[in-house]
Amino acid sequence: MELKQRGKTVLDRKYTINQIQEIVGGILSGDGSIEIKKLLPPKLADENTLALALSEEEIENLTITRAKAAMVPIGVSLDHITTIEVERPRLAMMKLLHLFYEAPDAPTGIHPTAVVHPDAKLGQNVSIGPGAVIGREAQIGDNAKILANVYIGKKTQIGHNCLFYPNVCIGDFVSIGNNVIIHHGASIGADGFSFVTENPSNVEIAKEQGQIEEKQEQKIYKIPSIGSVEIKDDVEIGANATIDRGTIENTIIGKGTKIDNLVMIAHNCNIGEGCLVISQVGIAGSCKVGDRVVLAGQVGLADHINIGSDSIVMAQAGVSKSFPEKSIIMGYPAVPRREFVKQTKNIKSVENLLKEVKILKEELEELKKIRK
Amino acid sequence: MELKQRGKTVLDRKYTINQIQEIVGGILSGDGSIEIKKLLPPKLADENTLALALSEEEIENLTITRAKAAMVPIGVSLDHITTIEVERPRLAMMKLLHLFYEAPDAPTGIHPTAVVHPDAKLGQNVSIGPGAVIGREAQIGDNAKILANVYIGKKTQIGHNCLFYPNVCIGDFVSIGNNVIIHHGASIGADGFSFVTENPSNVEIAKEQGQIEEKQEQKIYKIPSIGSVEIKDDVEIGANATIDRGTIENTIIGKGTKIDNLVMIAHNCNIGEGCLVISQVGIAGSCKVGDRVVLAGQVGLADHINIGSDSIVMAQAGVSKSFPEKSIIMGYPAVPRREFVKQTKNIKSVENLLKEVKILKEELEELKKIRK
Amino acid sequence: MELKQRGKTVLDRKYTINQIQEIVGGILSGDGSIEIKKLLPPKLADENTLALALSEEEIENLTITRAKAAMVPIGVSLDHITTIEVERPRLAMMKLLHLFYEAPDAPTGIHPTAVVHPDAKLGQNVSIGPGAVIGREAQIGDNAKILANVYIGKKTQIGHNCLFYPNVCIGDFVSIGNNVIIHHGASIGADGFSFVTENPSNVEIAKEQGQIEEKQEQKIYKIPSIGSVEIKDDVEIGANATIDRGTIENTIIGKGTKIDNLVMIAHNCNIGEGCLVISQVGIAGSCKVGDRVVLAGQVGLADHINIGSDSIVMAQAGVSKSFPEKSIIMGYPAVPRREFVKQTKNIKSVENLLKEVKILKEELEELKKIRK
């Protein structure tokens, strides 16, 4: 088989610059009747494209673009091309992209290969994709799009307007709000990683005594999770992320919080509202994260830690104790940014210190000699 | 559709406090005939709840609980409420939770949408869920619960009493013991990440010469994996974890070892018995980890490293060399904890050193001046 | 059910040492007519095995092996056993392993439980496994092996000779070249993690002002991804790895690049040719990585970073700025290796500095006293 040319998304949509300006706002200079069908950076743009030039590099590229119109930040004035100047370019871009976004195929109805338990309750206009499995007494709200091979456990409740991409796995007794998006292969409601031994384990001994005393050979018992997971409205969860069920209470993800790919949120965690949890963050058991907290990529939180609202934890930080509201922290073990910057500076100054101390020693020796 | 109130797990089980005490042991003070139907922390408890108050905070909350009975650590004496005092609260809690745990639905039999190869062999009382695929000459032991959309490759052998959650993928020739639990989307037996080039690669040159000499443009050949994975009895593997097959020999996970979500165990690794491998740990190829080792969250082990039995590797440590038995190590590159603590202290002392050296210089200048 | 003995891969293949030598090259000493059926390390080998002894430890084990023939590095001379000495043992091993590798079962044709959209186009000799879903207007090249429960979105194009393991999820509009291998559960083409608020967010304020000024309570808007993902020929992608779609342009993975398990590559990234991206690496949005770059395990790249060709980023490094070609970098924040080594040395020298400064102070006090 001969494969066709690899193309970009090609949609049958077009807008005039006037229409665009109505949607995104901003100041139009030039010809509002130009029709555009695509959005691209200046270099890749053709005559039917609205060139998006949000960075300085891209603005420079407008001198060589084939586009007849461009969206630019406020204050960028160009003669050779029609422009829409916008205050907050990423906000304008967001509105624009919605015009050209094409949602995944999810026809209303239950695919014949899906397996819906007779005691499950489905809302109106629900789409259940091929191979999807809906458990006993599960409830799915209106307009939900449950794509292929998604698994939803028993007694789990899903709100309205949710979108679950293929291979998402949701366990039993989970509660999910409205407008929740979950990407490929994410796991919601697997068992918490919680174990106990008959006698104190190596870790328990090490915590108390600072060292490992004796070989401990004993059975490790699983502590079952009877809590589940509660995900509030407007949450988004990335591909292959994992959110474990709570031991007794639920693990909770607050309203509007966005979780990136491959994030781990352990049992009993309570994550606030409007947080951003970037890729590969790991949050150990029973942590409490406030509202509007940003956890940057690969951050780790030890168990039972509180992070106050409006805090920012910078990438790869290893957080071993709690921090109050509005903290900006980094490093391992994580400290306030100012302290980290000072530490880094101090480490750099050691080289100079070594030289200075050497000179001091020599000078002192000199003085001592003279004394004699 | 109107969604019902979001509830917790509601099970139709009840126990008297006398029954509970028989199961968990400990000292009962108060009314053993009280019936309970739920387990919750004191704050969330109602009259039908056994309040679990294991921490000091929760014990304090018992003054405001609606529960009539509570489980508390030994030595906590309360007048207003019936108590069971226990020696090792987490152990008692484990026993309690088993009373209230409800396993996932997994009816015995093969779901009509499952695809079981005619040459596969299934044990007794096996449950094969919707969309599950069992490969050629695979063997599944008695009482196995293979949930929806699980894939089991050819000639793979699974022991008795295993529980595989939806979307688990197990490759070819894998061997899995008894009582093994594997969570959503875990991958067992994908190919090892192993490649070779015709001539030395940049990495090989850098290792020898300490720098990259010349641009190396050459084809990267895949080294196939003909080993597989062996998972011993009583192992648990977390959601979306990955354990790769060995190059020639098998990758091995020892008896009773527990592996958390999103852990990576590379080809040829040999992990001992009774280990705890916390979330997002990465173990590179051909590592050997002893028995009862704890690898905390986000730890990384470079390839070909040995970690002795009963060692603890603390969170986020980057381990670049081997360590003997009973090591407690941390940092990057990882060092014994004592050394790490000293390093951290030393870094902090630099600021003071800078001041002291400045004063010394001034004083010395002073002395020198006087001499003249 | 009684389970059979747990065995290794047993294939019905045999080769003479002469045949082996023809394939791998090298110098044969001894009996070329010996027939072998297996490859194993010396300790596990029997009479029908070619013992692979590539390391010094394994060469030593040849004194106790039951094998009659061994492959060894050039210059290893042994009397008691037939040997093939090879220049580049891993390269020879690669060729050998191909002789014994057994591919996953993937019979040509569409499994009756697969769901192929009537407008999809399939090449010749394609295998579509049980439960696989092929979207509208998707194109699959010749000889593709699409295993069980794989999902391929609409208008996605897959080249020839691709192999996708079970539960791989590929979104819409993705373009994949020839000879691409993708392992269990990998996600290609989930939405980028990209959001915007009406007014500046905490992170934006912190970047400008160095601290968080006021509680910001505002809706977080999703920026849709209208770009997709382009994966060039000969790429391999590990289990549960995630590669997100671009915002406007495509996220691109260059020819021959190999990506390990649980790697995260965010929206808009452009990864060059022939790179090795080891397990759990996280690459934030809009990064540009050159050709033949090695990113070792758990490395993190902040967004909008460029890494020049032929660079090596060592394990767990946290890279917060761009680096030129042929850089070798490590640490957090990442610096050239030489600098990191010096830093580490300097930190160690602080202890000695503390002692020296103490002595200097004492001596100076002594001198001052004498002066008086």
List pLDDT tens digits, range C212-262.
Answer: 876 668 899 999 999 999 999 999 999 999 999 999 999 999 999 999 999
- In this predicted structure, what is the pLDDT of residue C18? 97
- Phi first, then psi, for residue B158 (nearest 5°) are -120, 135
- For residue B98, the chain A residues in CB contact (below 8 A) are 224
B329-343, B351-365, C139-153, C286-300 — which is least confidently predicted?
Answer: B351-365
User: Do the Cβ atoms of B8 and A250 come within 8 Å?
Assistant: yes
Tell me: pLDDT of C12 over 50.
Answer: yes
B282 beta partners: B264, B300
Beta bridge partners of B71: B52, B84
Q: How many CB atoms lie within 10 A of CB A95?
A: 16
Separation CA C240–CA C259 (nearest Å): 11
Best mutation site among A169, A306, A352 for testing chain B: the one with the most B CBs within 10 Å? A169
In this prediction the pTM is 0.95
Q: Spell out which residues of chain A touch residue C318, defining contact as CB-CB under 8 Å.
A: 298, 315-316
Q: Cis omega (within 30 of 0) on the bond before A107?
A: no
Give kind and range of the element (H or E) at residue C360. helix C337-371
Give me the total of CB pairs closer than 8 Å, taking one residue from chain A and one from chain B.
244
Is B355's pLDDT higher than 80?
Answer: yes
B 249-268 residues with CB below 8 A of C? Answer: 249-250, 262, 264, 266
Contact B190 C167 (CB under 8 A): no
So what's the pLDDT on residue A372?
62
* Tokens at B92, concatenated: 């008692």
Please judge whether B181 and A191 are an interchain contact, meaning their C-beta atoms are less than 8 angstroms apart: yes
For chain A positions 57-96, those within 8 Å of chain B (CB to CB) are none
Q: Over chain C, what is the mean pLDDT? A: 93
Using CA coordinates, name the residue in chain A closest to B111. A115
pLDDT of residue C206: 83
What residues of chain A lie within 8 A of the CB of C357, using their CB?
357
Rounded to 10 deg, the angle between the B17-24 and B89-100 helix axes is 120
Measured CA angle at A369 (ends A365, A371), to 5 deg = 115
Interface test with B, best of A259, A264, A299 (most B CBs within 10 A): A264
Neighbouring residues of B161: CB distance < 8 A, sequence distance ≥ 6: B141, B142, B143, B144, B178, B179
Provide the β-strand partners of residue A29: A83
Give A73-130 pLDDT, tens digit per residue: 999 989 899 999 999 999 999 999 999 999 999 999 999 999 999 999 999 999 999 9
CA dist B235 and A220 (Å) reads 10
Instruction: Give the CA count within 13 Å in the CB-facing half-sphere of B124.
Output: 2
The three-point CA angle B289-B291-B293 to 5° equals 70
Count of alpha carbons within 13 angstroms of residue C237, beta-carbon side: 34
**Cβ separation of A9 and C155 shorter than 8 Å?**
yes
How close A1 comes to chain C (CA, Å)? 5
Question: How far from chain centre, in Å, is Cα A356?
Answer: 48
Q: At CA C297, angle to CA C295 and CA C299, rounded to 5?
A: 60
Does the CB of B166 have a partner CB in chain C at under 8 Å?
A: no
Q: Which of residues 24-63 of A touch C (CB under 8 A)?
A: 39-41, 44, 52
Catalytic residues of C: 267
| Residues of A whose CB is below 8 A from C315 | none
Q: Do B368 and A363 touch (CB under 8 A)?
A: yes
The answer to whether C211 contacts A353, with C-beta atoms less than 8 Å apart, is no
- Annotated active-site residue in B80, B183, B267, B304: B267
Q: How many CB atoms lie within 10 A of CB B345?
A: 12
CA-angle at B22, arms to B21 and B23, nearest 5°: 90
pLDDT given for residue A210 in this prediction: 79
Touching C: A residues 334-353, CB under 8 Å: 344, 347-348, 350-351, 353
Asked if residue B371 has pLDDT above 80, the reply is no
Chain B contact present for A149, CB below 8 A = yes
- Which pLDDT does position B52 carry in this prediction? 96
**Among residues of chain C, what percentage have pLDDT more than 70?**
96
Q: What is the DSSP string of A276-290?
A: EE-TT-EE-TT-EE-
Query: Which tokens go with A218?
Result: 């004993």
Which residue numbers in chain A have pLDDT < 50?
A: 1-10
Residue A122's contacts (CB-CB under 8 Å, 6 or more residues apart) are: A110, A116, A128, A134, A139, A140, A144, B1
Could you give the angle at the alpha carbon of B69 between the alpha carbons of B66 and B72, nearest 5°?
Answer: 110
Q: What is residue A2's predicted lDDT score, i.e. its pLDDT?
A: 41
Query: Which of B187, B193, B215 comes nearest C260 by C-beta?
Result: B193
Chain B: residue whose CA lies nearest to A155? B9
Subunits that touch chain C (at least 3 Cβ pairs < 8 angstroms)? A, B
The dihedrals phi and psi of C279, each to the nearest 5 degrees, come to -50, 140
C 116-145 residues with CB < 8 A to A: 121-124, 131, 133, 135-136, 139, 141-142
Distance CA A349, CA A347 (A): 5
Over residues C103-132, mean pLDDT? 98
Q: Is the pLDDT of residue B9 over 60?
A: no
CB-based contacts of C263-269 (< 8 A; 24+ apart in sequence): C263/C237, C263/C238, C264/A260, C264/A261, C264/A262, C264/A279, C264/A280, C265/C241, C266/A279, C266/C192, C266/C193, C266/C303, C267/C192, C267/C193, C267/C194, C267/C225, C267/C227, C268/C192, C268/C227
Disruptive mutation site among B168, B316, B325, B335 for chain A (greatest number of A CBs within 10 Å): B316
Distance to chain B for C198, nearest Cα, Å: 32
- B15 CB-side CA count, 13 A: 19
Chain C neighbors of B370, CB-CB under 8 A: 371
Q: Is the CB of A172 less than 8 angstroms away from the CB of B311?
A: no
Q: Which of A21-25, A102-106, B121-125, B215-219 has the lowest mean pLDDT?
A: B215-219
Query: Which of the residues A168, A197, A226 would you substitute to probe the B interface, choosing the one with the greatest number of B C-beta atoms within 10 Å?
Result: A226
Q: Is there a catalytic annotation at residue B117?
A: no
> pLDDT tens across C192-213, in order?
999 999 998 888 888 888 778 7
Task: Render the burial of A328-362: b for 16+ CB within 10 Å, e for the rest.
Answer: bbbbbbbbebeebeebbebbebbeebbebbeebee
Taking CA–CA distances from A356, the nearest residue in chain B reads B357
For residue A347, which residues of chain C lie inside 8 Å, CB to CB? 343, 346-347
Q: How far is CA A90 from each of CA A73, A86, B30, B44, C224, rounded to the nearest angstrom?
A: 10, 9, 64, 43, 11
Q: Is A167 on the interface with C (CB under 8 A)?
A: yes
Segment B46-56 mean pLDDT:
94
Query: According to the model, what pLDDT value does residue C371 have?
Result: 66
Say whether B147 and A151 touch across the interface (CB within 8 A). yes
Q: Which residue, among C323, C322, C237, C248, has the nearest Cα to C281 in the 3D structure?
A: C237
Task: Check A93 against C360: CB less than 8 A apart.
Answer: no
Alpha carbon of A209: minimum distance to chain C alpha carbons (Å) = 26
- Considering only CB atoms, B130 lies closest to which of A133, A155, A220, namely A133
What is residue C258's predicted lDDT score, i.e. its pLDDT? 98
As a whole number of angstroms, the distance between CA A97 and CA A84 comes to 15
Per DSSP, the residues of C99-168 read HH--PPP--SEE-TT-EE-TT-EE-TT-EE-TT-EE-TT-EE-TT-EE-TT-EE-TT-EE-TT-EE-TT-
Contact predicate A187/A259, CB 8 Å: no
In angstroms, the separation between the Cα of residue A347 and the nearest Cα of chain B is 7
Contacts of B361 in chain A (CB under 8 A): 356, 360
- Closest alpha carbon to B243 in C98, A192, C279: C279
Which residue of chain A has the CA closest to B277?
A193
The residue-averaged pLDDT of C272-284 equals 98
Helix axes A89-100, A17-24, angle to 10 degrees: 120
| Cβ-Cβ contacts under 8 Å, B141 against chain C | 1, 3
The two beta strands, C35-36 and C27-29, are unpaired
Are C244 and C228 in contact by the 8 Å Cβ rule? The answer is no
Q: Tens digit of pLDDT for each residue in B298-343? A: 999 999 999 999 999 999 999 999 999 999 999 999 999 999 999 9
C97–B248 CB contact, under 8 Å: yes
Which residues from C are below 8 Å from B151, CB to CB? 147-149, 166-167, 184
Q: pLDDT per residue over B132-190, tens digit each?
A: 999 999 999 999 999 999 999 999 999 999 999 999 999 999 999 999 999 999 999 99
Backbone angles phi, psi at A276, to 5 degrees: -120, 120
Question: Residue A11: its pLDDT value, please?
Answer: 58
Average pLDDT over residues B79-99: 95
Nearest chain B Cα distance for residue C331, angstroms: 8
Give me B62's structure tokens: 């018992």
